[in-house]
């Protein structure tokens, strides 16, 4: 697990967050342009939520982020041997939400995650991406 790129990136960011002063943390959150690639952006999301939610919910969110990342890498594989999430930005991430739910999660019984809670965290995550200018796409639910 320690060799997994998302794990290493998130661990480094959370550790840096713990070691920084509140002034440094505020400055870092303002300058979101430091985060260019999907793994960095997903790690930033985990870092921000790490400070705001309990252990059980953070575990749920972490599972979601890992599974969503794997879905993106699976669907966007360009046969270069490198993971898509390590070299591309997150602009098209909201466009992958339908594939994530229907193709990736449904076939595995949602990996035991609550479907309604999953949909809520997808909405929160995509809104967070949009608000922080990591994407120009805005997610909307169609019933």
C-alpha to C-alpha distances, 46 to 60, 65, 81, 106, nearest whole angstrom: 11, 8, 26, 24
Give the structural domain span for 32. Answer: 5-131
Using a 10 angstrom Cβ sphere, with 0-12 exposed, 13-18 middle and 19 or more buried, the burial of residue 106 is: exposed
The answer as to whether 49 is a domain residue is yes
pLDDT digit string, tens, across residues 89-107:
999 999 999 999 988 888 8
- Does residue 138 lie in a domain region? no
Number of independent structural domains in the chain:
1
Greater confidence (51 vs 17) lies with: 51
123 versus 80: the higher-pLDDT residue is 123
Q: Tell me whether residue 137 is in a domain.
A: no
Residue with tokens 């909201």: 94
Assigned token pair, 18: 């713990």
On whether residue 139 sits in a domain, the answer given is no
**pLDDT tens profile 51-72:** 888 989 988 998 899 999 999 9
* DSSP code per residue over 107-130: GGGGGG--HHHHHHHHHHHHHHHH
- Residue 15 scores a pLDDT above 70: yes
């Amino acid at each position: 697990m320690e060799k997994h790129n998302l794990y290493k990136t998130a661990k480094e960011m959370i550790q840096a967050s713990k070691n920084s002063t509140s002034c440094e943390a505020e400055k870092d959150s303002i300058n979101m342009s430091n985060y260019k690639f999907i793994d960095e952006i997903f790690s930033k999301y985990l870092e921000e939520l790490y400070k705001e939610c309990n252990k059980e919910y953070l575990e749920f969110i972490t599972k979601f982020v890992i599974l969503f990342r794997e879905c993106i890498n699976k669907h966007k594989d360009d046969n270069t041997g490198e993971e898509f999430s390590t070299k591309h930005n997150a602009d098209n991430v909201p466009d992958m939400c339908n594939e994530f739910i229907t193709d990736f999660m449904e076939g595995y019984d949602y990996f035991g995650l609550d479907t309604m809670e999953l949909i809520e965290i997808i909405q929160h995550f995509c809104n967070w991406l949009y608000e922080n200018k990591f994407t120009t796409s805005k997610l909307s639910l169609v019933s």
